[in-house]
Amino acid sequence: MTRPLGKVYLVGAGPGAPDLLTLRAARLLERADIVFHDALVHPETLALAACAVKVAVGKRSGRYSTAQRFINKQLIDAARKYPTVVRLKGGDPMLFGRAQEEIDALIEAGITLEIVPGISAAFAASADLQCSLTRRALARSVVFATPREAAGSKRNNWAKAAAAADTAVLYMAAGEAQNVSEALMSNGVAASRPAVIVEHAASNQRKIIPTNVGNLSIAAQCVGDGPALVMVGEVYADVQAAGLEWPIAITLPRVGRIT
């Protein structure tokens, strides 16, 4: 008798803090048979899957990582063995998480799947800053983009889209800060346009680095090994003046409205 296929859940782990998981995500982890998890998932989050086999399949820039095609095969093989398979992704699975590749592979293999949203780092960082991504009469458009290009992919026109938006949130960009700065300015963004880098959003390790487009490469020198966002727009002009208690990581030259 053929064993019924299991179900795969693509679950958002949020920005890192375990208490920012959704209730649905937490309940799925508690009953999971096997969990394939990203590199930056918090140990306390993984601890919720007390009875599950845990398999690390994280991808970190510049380090050894699991090939996507192998992850796809692991998910399919697991669904043929276990009733409840959780693929735990940082942030939200549907934003820069390569979820579509896994979705397509599972559908082709006839595996049932479900997507469980998570809090993306952009929203966690905005909460840390107490600064809305949008603001009446100032910011009515938001772009999520990344300068990272996969080998063999077509040209990524992220800078044009980011320059046209009132607020731009750039994922996986801090390590390419000089190129990001130059690309934005070549698309018409002023060097004085406010920006901020947020590392380890929503955690007690968070680091907030106010800067501007022209000084991004200087600010990025203070970024450690954690996940970081580059956020650009006039909404960040008053970040330094907000009077909140956070670690200001660097003192930058005064350019434009940045103090």
Q: What does R_g of the chain's alpha carbons equal in angstroms?
A: 20
Residue 257 lies in a domain: no
Q: Which residues pair with 198 in a beta bridge?
A: 208, 229
User: What is the Cα–Cα distance from 92 to 183, expressed in whole angstroms?
Assistant: 27
Give the pLDDT confidence score for residue 132 in this predicted structure.
96
Question: Does the residue 68 lie in any domain?
Answer: yes
Q: Are 106 and 127 within one domain?
A: no
Residue 138's CATH number: 3.30.950.10
- Flag whether 143 is in a domain: yes
38 is catalytic: yes
Same domain, 163 and 102: no
To which residue do tokens 């939200």 refer? 92
Q: What is the pTM of this model?
A: 0.88
Q: Under DSSP, is residue 40 helix (H, G, I), strand (E, B) or coil? A: coil
Q: Which of 38, 54, 160, 166 is catalytic?
A: 38
The residue type at 249: A
Domain assignment of residue 255, yes or no: no
**Do 11 and 103 reside in the same domain of the chain?**
yes
pLDDT in tens, 88-140: 999 999 999 999 999 999 999 999 999 999 999 999 999 999 999 999 999 99
Token pair listed for 68: 């996507």
Respond yes or no: is residue 59 known to be catalytic. Answer: yes
CA count, 13 A, side-chain hemisphere, 257: 12
Q: Which spans in the chain are helix H?
A: 23-31, 43-47, 68-79, 99-108, 121-129, 158-164, 177-186, 216-219
**Per-residue pLDDT reduced to its tens digit, 148-199:** 876 666 677 999 999 999 999 999 999 999 999 999 999 999 999 999 999 9
Q: Which of 33, 59, 160, 238 is catalytic?
A: 59
Domain end residue (candidates: 81, 116, 151): 116
Residue span of the structural domain in which 98 resides:
7-116
Examine residue 32 and state whether it is found in any structural domain, yes or no.
yes
14 φ/ψ sector (left φ>0, alpha ψ -120 to 50, else beta): left
130 in the same domain as 237: yes
Report the relative pairing of strands 228-233 and 84-89 from DSSP bridges: unpaired
